[in-house]
Amino acid sequence: MKFKLIHYMKPFIALFLLVFMISAVSCKKDPEGPKQPKPIYLPEKAGEVIAGSNGFGIDLFRVTALQEDGNLMLSPLSAGTALTMLLNGCNTQTYVQIRDMLGYEGLTLDEINSTYRSLIEQLLAVDPEVQLALANAVWYRQDFLVKQTFLEVMDSSFESQIGALDFSQPSALETINKWASDNTNGKIPKVLEEIEPDMVMFLMNALYFKGTWTYQFETNQTAIDPFHLENGSAVNVDMMRSLIPVKMYSGNGAAAVELPYGRQNFSMVIILPDNSLGEYLTDFDKADWSSITAALDAITEPGEAEMIVPKFKFDYEKYLNDQLKTLGMMDAFDPYLADLSGISDSDIYVDFVKQNTYVDVNEEGTEAAAVTTIGIKEVSMPPSFTVDKPFIFAIRERTTNTLLFIGKVENPTY
């Protein structure tokens, strides 16, 4: 049985979604038998937090993919982490909008933070055959007053690197970009081109993943084959191929296959629509994702199939302001409505949320990285014109400049 990923898809998409799945695929590289995923034990509310975060990630992907042509990749975990850091500094309606957008309705901030910390600690250690690194940072302008309670949460719950920098100096930009590069193994060397004068803080998350396939593709089997685009034309690409045990599912307008990494805690799920990708994305939501993954999890024994998958590699950068507003995060971007009073007593708002990503899928495995940057800006005070001394006043018709009245005021109380 062949499972060919060559129909109805643009060159960029072997719809790449990185997930934490349990599968029962045997590992022929291990003579002692199949490798089993290591269980992860989470707090009571973890299921709600993860389900909400996954739903947010699917929604963010859908609204972005529908608005943009070409290759794209987002990291729901990275974006969700950075936005959860921001959530800890929000109050009133700003807090409610971000909380609900992230799918955390009915959960307390303590429940969200404790689940996040427990999840990340275990994800980082669950599979020694996979390189996974996650780092957070809070960089703020050295003369900006940040509430100590906010910094304490960033340290205790998110283990953030915290630093006060002189944003007016080139060294600040170098420090931030170097942090992004160091925490993505050099795959994302730059996230900021400049620091605008009114910027006061950057909340950042960096995520790096490198995993080898449980069943690797043989490089000598890779060959050039046509890849059929949505417009009916085709391009020649390097197609990897291998006969391996995989879990496959078909239904509800798409086929899916799961390719595990390492000891199989991590996997790549590829979704191939029956018809066009554009049509499928229109209605693709968290229910579809849950249905596909539940069906894959229900398969106890994988079936052997000839996998034919394109190699691909690209980087991507996207400002997510419009997409996040569409999903309900509105007040945080408004200088006059944003309530970030948990961060500072100053009037501040979110200027931008941006994500940089990188992915390389080849015969050996997958390398992927993401950095999410949230830029926080201080509200600029409007220009002031104070009339506090004697003055002249005039009334005119503007189109002809006809002067109707002119006078002076030396004493307004006279």
Please state the length of the chain: 414
The residue type found at 310 is P
CA atoms within 13 A on the CB side of 104: 25
pLDDT at residue 31 is higher than 90: no
Cα gap 147→164, rounded to integer Å:
13
Does residue 10 sit within a domain? yes
Tokens of 225: 């084959």
What per-residue confidence (pLDDT) applies to 407?
A: 63
Let me know if residue 393 belongs to a domain: no
Q: Please count the structural domains in the chain.
A: 1
Only one residue has tokens 């191929």, namely: 241
pLDDT score for 33: 45
Phi and psi for 29 in degrees, rounded to 5? -75, -15
- The reply to whether 239 falls in a domain is no
Residue type, 65: A
Please, which pLDDT band fits residue 257 given cuts at 50, 70 and 90? Answer: confident
Residue 184: is its pLDDT beyond 90?
A: yes
pLDDT band per the 50, 70, 90 thresholds, residue 389: confident
pTM of this prediction? 0.85
The answer to whether position 82 is within a domain reads yes
How many other C-beta atoms lie within 10 A of the C-beta of residue 107? 17
Percentage of the chain beyond pLDDT 90 is: 59
Given this model, what pLDDT does residue 16 score? 34
Q: Which of 12-21, 65-74, 143-152, 201-210 shows the lowest mean pLDDT across its residues?
A: 12-21
Which residue has better confidence, 29 or 353? Answer: 353
The string of DSSP codes covering 130-143 is EEEEEEEEEEEETT
Give strand pairing partners of 271: 256
3-state helix, strand, coil in the chain (%, to 5): 30, 35, 40
Note whether residue 102 is domain-resident: yes
Q: Please state the rounded mean pLDDT for residues 191-212.
A: 95
Mean pLDDT computed over 353-359: 95
| Residue of 353, 386, 409, 395 lying closest to 64 (CA atoms) | 353
Mind giving me the DSSP string for 286-354? Answer: HHHHHHHHHHHHT--S-EEEEEEEE-EEEEEEEE-HHHHHHTT--GGG-TTT---TTT-SS-EEEEEEE
Smallest CA-to-CA distance from 49 within 92, 113, 95 is with 113
Residue 229 has a pLDDT of 86
In a domain? residue 134: yes
User: Which residues, at least 6 apart from 242, have a Cβ–Cβ distance to it below 8 Å?
Assistant: 215, 216, 217, 218, 221, 306, 307
CA angle 214, 217, 221 (to 5 degrees): 165
pLDDT score of 5 more than 90: no
* Mean pLDDT score across all residues of the chain: 86
Evaluate whether residue 411 is within a structural domain. no
Collapsing DSSP to helix, strand or coil, 116 comes out as: helix
Tell me, yes or no, whether 94 lies in a domain. Answer: yes
Q: Please report where in the chains the tokens 């990923």 appear, as a residue.
A: 5
Question: The CATH number of the domain where 67 resides is what?
Answer: 3.30.497.10
Closest of 56, 18, 78, 10 to residue 280, by C-alpha? 10
What tens digit of pLDDT does each residue of 262-313 get?
A: 988 899 899 999 888 989 999 999 999 999 999 999 998 888 999 999 988 9
Structural domain span for residue 190? 2-212+311-378
What is the 8-class DSSP label of residue 215?
A: S
